[in-house]
Amino acid sequence: MLLSQASHAFTAHLAEVRRLSPATARAYAADLADLAGAIGDIELHEIDLEHLRDWLWRASQRGDARSTLARRTSSARGLFRWALDAGHVDADPSLRLVTPKRGRTLPKVANAGGLDEMLARAAVAAGEGDPLALRDHAILELLYASGIRVSELCGLDVDDLELGRATARVLGKGSKERVVPYGAPARRAIEAFLTRGRPALAARADAATPAAFLGARGGRIGPRTVYDLVARTVGPIVGSSAVGPHALRHSAATHLLDGGADLRAVQELLGHASLGTTQVYTHVSSERLSAAYRLAHPRA
């Protein structure tokens, strides 16, 4: 079996049997396509440990991030574990493949004052009644207020938004459902969009949709539109145009911890399976505290 054939069968197994998300299956497929590009589309049983090491070395030489190298190692291991179980190979050459250590990078966090000013400008623009401005204001407020992921926001239906209780029902990773709260500013922005902005956008569509947030043509909004919105509005605050919706998620978590929120409460809000994932935000808060100390204390 050629590497390309094995890769196709393996990624189909991930999607259909293991029920991994389409995005995860695509990531595995891309990694294995990169492997084939590096060593050639050879027979699976011909691939040895040196092939795999050489592939990762080339990736490191072109500057791939440690997290990317770690994921590619995982992709190779997954492929050969599946191939061995299925009887396509007699031995697993990836068993001695060392996963590069992942460096922990602190997430980009926007300062609260800058976000307040940005949201105030968005509110002024929304006040003029343009449907897209109303939508953008509601999206920015909700992302920062709740810390939800961009996929969760795009997947929201109108019925998932409970304005009376100021909560949203979202479907997170692993199809796990949770209910997240949001504050009064977000509730007002969402209500304004649903009553004044959404009907105008929905009228542009060929068919009705239950989606809460709509694109310019009336269909369910896509992640790319949200990424562009956040890059345009939050990018200047953090000093980088390469910023996405996760910056608001990071900011929400960090500002909650700065304000005294319990770590487990933040874990539940963000939908993290492990408390260890949430703990990165304690490092962010510590860094901010240290920076403030160094600037302010006369004996720092």
Tokens representing 183 are 């504050």
Contact status, residue 169 vs residue 209, Cβ threshold 8 Å: no
pLDDT of residue 47: 93
Q: Is 101 a catalytic residue?
A: no
**C-alpha–C-alpha distance, residues 296 and 274, integer Å:** 35
Reported as a single tens digit per residue, the pLDDT across 143-199 is 999 999 999 999 999 999 999 999 999 988 777 889 999 999 999 999 999 999 999
Q: Is 173 a catalytic residue?
A: yes
pLDDT of residue 221: 95
SS3 content of the chain, % helix, strand, coil (to 5): 65, 5, 30
DSSP secondary structure of 21-41: -HHHHHHHHHHHHHHHHHH-S
Q: Is 182 a catalytic residue?
A: no
Q: Is 176 a catalytic residue?
A: no
pLDDT of residue 286: 58
Q: Which of 71, 137, 149, 255 is catalytic?
A: 149
Q: Which domains does the chain have, with CATH numbers?
A: 3-86 (1.10.150), 112-294 (1.10.443.10)
Q: Is 281 a catalytic residue?
A: yes
Give 10-residue mean pLDDT values along the chain (300 residues).
92 88 89 91 90 86 83 93 93 84 65 94 96 97 93 95 93 84 94 97 94 96 93 89 85 85 82 74 60 58
